Each structure stands twice: as C-alpha cells, then as structure tokens.
Structure 1
Amino acid sequence: MEPNVLCMSSADRLSQARSRSRSPLNCETKEDLLTAPVLCCVILGGPGSGKSLLGSSLQQRFPGFLGISCGDLARRLTFCDKSPFLNSVAKQLKDRRRRKKAFGRVTEIVIKVVARAVSSGAFWGIIVDGLRDHELPDFEAALGSRYTVLAHLSCPSDVMLSRLSSRQDREGDDRLGLVETDAAGRVQAYLERAPEETKNLRAYAEATSSRAFFDLDATLQVPSLVEDMVARLNAFAKSSGFSLDAQTAQTDTASVDWELHISEVASRLDREFHPDGKPRSKHNAAGCEKAMRRRYLGSVCSWNNRQSGPQGPTSSLQQAAPPGALKTRMAVYFASTSAVQISGLCFR
C-alpha cells in the first residue's frame, strides 16, 4: 500500500525513496512519486511583468519551496566552458539564423537540470519562472508533480517598458542574444502572442482538476500581489486536500548545488552527443544502420520488380543476377540466409 504523499514531509519522502533503492532521476524518465514535488507553481507573463520578483517573494513566504529561475539557469549554461556540447549551443545562440533552434535546446537542458535537482532533494513544492506555454507539458512530465498552478501576470505595455528601461543587463544576456533586442521589440513581440498564449494556458489548466490557472494583476504593489497569490494558493490547496503551511517549512532548499547538477547533465550530453548535436550512442547508430538497410533492401526489391518478366517477379533465391548487377545485389539474390543479415555485410 502506497503511503499518503500529501501527509509526508520532504525528508520522509526522500527516506522512503532511498529505502526502496530509487536511483536519482536519469534526466530521461519521470521520477518516482515519492521524490516528485507535490505542488509546482509556474509564474508566467511578459518581459518586465514581475515574474522573478513574485517568485522570490513567494519563496520568502513559503521557505520550503524551491525557487527556480529558468532564465538564470540558461545564463549559467552558457558559461559552462568545460562542455563541448554546451559551448556549441552557446555559439549557436549568437547566430541569428540558428538562435531559435538553439533556444529550444537550452530549454530542454534547463528542464533536465531542474528535474535532476528536484529529484535529488524531494522538495515538497517548487516555484518556477521563465517558462513559455508550449514548454509546460515537457516540464510537467519531467518533474511529475501532483498539482500544478499556473500564475499569469497581466501587465500593460507601458508598465513593462518602464520596468525594462530601469533594469540593468544581467550577466549572460549577451550570450543569449537578449542584448541585441530592444525593450520595445521584446514587449511588442510578447503582446502579439499574448492573447493566444493566455488562451492556451487556460485550456491547459482546465484539462484536469490537478491544475489551476490564476490571472493576477501585475500593477499591484508587491505585498498586495503576494497576499493575493498566497490566498489563491491556500484555497487551491484546501480544495485539493492538503495544507501549504503544514508542510512547506520542512524542506532545506539551501542544499541545492546547481553547478553540480549542470556539470552532471553537461557530462551526460557530451557522452551522448557530438558538439554539432549528432548522437554518439550505439543505440542511435544501430537505428541509423537499420534504417539504411531498410532503404537499401527496398531499392533492391523495386529493382527486382522492374526486371521481372510477364510471369511476375520470381523469388530472389531463384532469379539469376544480370551481368551488370552490383556485388551487393548479388548477395541478396543468392542469399542462403536472411537477406537482411547478408546485406549487413555491406555496411561493416
């Protein structure tokens, strides 16, 4: 019988997981229920809407919640000089033609780092900012949280522009290509996609009772905004059968070594991929070889059909090879065993 995770502290859940010999998250599979966070609070909004400020304020209100800034983690990744793969991604970010694809890779790596850190600590709750609507399914699947709250900050364009103009460039913005984009351009790009993005967020949250969508007024003073958010979180927790204050003070969030998790994920990526993104693994190589064999045999079968007479195509074991046939085709014609096995000699 599974224990009631909602009534267990983070330390108890981590102890239970270790007693069952659960290994840390391998960055590819959903972590075990005992080490997955119970509540994941994702803060979304436009540039300058106050996502990071609200996240840090909520973390002070709920000290047991692990605060995660995906933007800050992305900046850290660009400074991981010991990883050839991450160095290659950082170079692609500086190329305007390859930047969009590189941003997607950065997001995937950030999710891997966060999932590994969360799995190793068994945090009861996490607060995340810096995600986009289309990134939520992958993020939620990687963490395996029981409940997800989407807090969207609605903010007018003039307020966002005012806040961005007073903000200094953060270390790593140049590597992410953010310095090249002016504040007005970033705000305008967000406003163009905001209606569709908000619609998608609502639909995603309403798809299941384990999610909730909060539309917050970003123009409120920080204390008022935090109290509004806390009240909504407590109401959602009560309706879901758990209490935030009873559990969130039982997690030590100061023990997270982000540099260690980044280094471990980077090392794994270097083992699995070349700097240009091509896979190194034997499994992927075997898959490519298998696909090559299928394409080759398909072309041979097509050639056999074209060479067949009025009686239709004959068996490859009975049909003689024409004088000009390639040696590889002859191997298929006169195979005494599987054509796939013999033709495999051509690729070795």
Structure 2
Amino acid sequence: MNTSSTQQHRLSETVQQLKPSGIRRFFDLASTMDNVISLGVGEPDFVTPWNVREASIVSMERGFTSYTANAGLIELRRAVSYYLESSFDVSYHPESDIVITVGASEGIDAVFRAIINPGDEVIVAEPCFVSYAPIITMAGGVPVPLETTKEHDFKIKAGDLEDLITSKTKAVLLSYPNNPTGAHMSKEELEPIVNVIKDYDLLAVSDEIYAELSYDHEHASLPAFPGMLERTILISGFSKAFAMTGWRVGYVCGPKDIMAAVLKIHQYTMMCASTSAQFGALEALKNGRADVERMVASYRQRRNYLVKTFAEMGLECHTPLGAFYAFPSIEKLGMDAETFAEAFLTEEQVAVVPGTVFGSGGEGHVRCSYATSLESLVEAMDRFKRFIERHG
C-alpha cells in the first residue's frame, strides 16, 4: 500500500492545494536566531489599556462566565452601533445588523461562506492580507486578483476594477487602510470605485480593521456612501486600534438578510465570542478613544521616521496613509523580495516580510511594521543602511 497516496485521500483536495502562510516561514526562522529585531509582526507593541483589562477581570469576578447570545452581548452590539455612527456616519441596528465574532478573521470567513456559491468570483485588490484568497477558496469561490502598483500608491483605479468584472463576479473585497502597503483612499478617490460596484450590482466586503489608524485624512467608510449600506458587509474589530490582538473580538455589520446567514455560520462554528473579552471590548468602546489617539500619535511619529530614513537610503517608499506598515521598494538591489528578506535576516538579524506573500504585486517590496518601539526602529534602520551599503 502506498502510504503517501492513502494519506492524501484523507485530506480535502482544496486544503491540500492551499499554500502555507508565507509570513510564518520567516517568523519560524527568526525564532531560531538571537538579537533579532522583528519588523514583521502585524500587531501593536502596546499592552491593552488597564481599564479594558480590568473590565474583563471584573466581569469574571462578578460571575459572567456563561455563553452570551450568539450574536454577542447586546450592550456591546449597541456600543458598536453608536461607535460606527458617531465615528464614521454609518448606521446599523444592534439587534439585526451586527454580529460579534472571534476576531475580524472569523468574520471574514463567515461572510464569504455566507455569500459565495461554488464558482462565484471575488475581486481582491492586491497586495493584501494573506488570508483573503485562501478563505475565498475554502468557501468555494474564485479569488480574482486586482493588482495595484507603487506608481498609484497602491490604490485601486476604477477602470482596472471594471476590466475584471465578469458574469461570475459576486463581490469586491476592499481593505483600506491596507495591510501590507499602508495605502489609504480618500472619499474622493473611493467614489469612482463605489460607482462601479453599484453599476454592476455587486456586493462589497470592506475590511476596515485599520480604520482608526488613519494619519493624513479622515477614514471614509464604504457603507457610508449613498446606496452602499444595503450592498456592503463591513468587517472590523478591536485588535489593531485598541491593542487587543490576543482578545480575539471582531464584528461584522451588514444588511439583515446577509447578517442572518453570517449568524447561522457563527452559531454552528463558534457559538459566541469569549464573554470576558466582550466585556473588555465594551469598555474599550466606552472609554478607550483617548488611548487610541495616543497610540496613533506614536505610530505617526514612527511612520515619519521610517519614510524619511528610507528616502535617505535612496529606497523608494510611498508615505503610508494608514495602518502601521511601510512598504519600501528594494528593486534597486537586484534581489527578489524573498531573497532580500532571507539575506537581511541572516546577515543583520532584522525580520521583514517579502511583499510577494501578499500577492504578485508585492514583488520588489518588503513589509516593515512600525508597530515596535522607536528605539528598535532606529537600530533596525542602522542595520538596514549597513545591508544596503554592502549590497547596493
């Protein structure tokens, strides 16, 4: 008996065809080395504010340790509704339009399983978060990459979007501010994209997890545009802006019929998000805005330092308008992104992520997270300069 063949038959063909996360390989390599500075991790370096941690602890001390409603604590859903309306001018009914999820990642998965029929196409702007295409594939859909470029600061152009639409197109997935590029689109820049989505009667899935981390213009939420509330599914959460990555609390908002389907999937797979984590998230929404502003100010300072330093090195790097990533071009060194990242880690013990793990449009670039201390960034840039001088 061929053991390898037998084992293959035990696994889903869809899952077998998925590639492992390209980010994880570099993290695993970095973990075996000493004195590594990581610019690869996509999470805040801040500890969750004490009042949020305390609210969670108090909830447990008061005995709130059972399941919540499948859709989440109604108090939290009401707080999300108020927060979105007051911050981004988007109005959702807490009872029917909002589901609290186990992080935004679960929300993305539930949304695509709720809307996709086998063979449906979803247009995905790349470079993008590494999970998007695999999640669409696992839901039975076909991810269709829309490559953005440094020449346009990694922003979508309406004509490029329209060129990819076919009779099988079901939805467009947008994520601004963007991971990995830090690109952001203003209200004026999004309007032509919105018009294409409406003209072709498509759904829009808008991952706005970095919405609060907008540095140079106000965040324009996709469902706030006229005619978009009824065709947009909004995904967000607490991980990035509120420094709550390990808490795993997110939320999905959208039209009532779609949210009923999302809730079904959530019920059968997760039951509900962690009760104590939901109480922490509630406190973050009620009393956490000052902490968010403090963290954003720090990120802005670090961003400005990185962009200035890359320019001094002669590396092209557009100014990231949101999130906490810089995406410099390393093309002038004559290395592909993966070769650069591996050599940089080996020679200078600095971990960055090759742009290609985020889609083909990321070739020639590396993602550098500035969600780390300014002291560490200064040391990392000194090592960057040495590497450039040696290989440039």
Q: Normalized against structure 2, the TM-score is what?
A: 0.26
Q: Normalized against structure 1, the TM-score is what?
A: 0.28
Q: Which has the higher helix share?
A: 1
Larger radius of gyration: 1
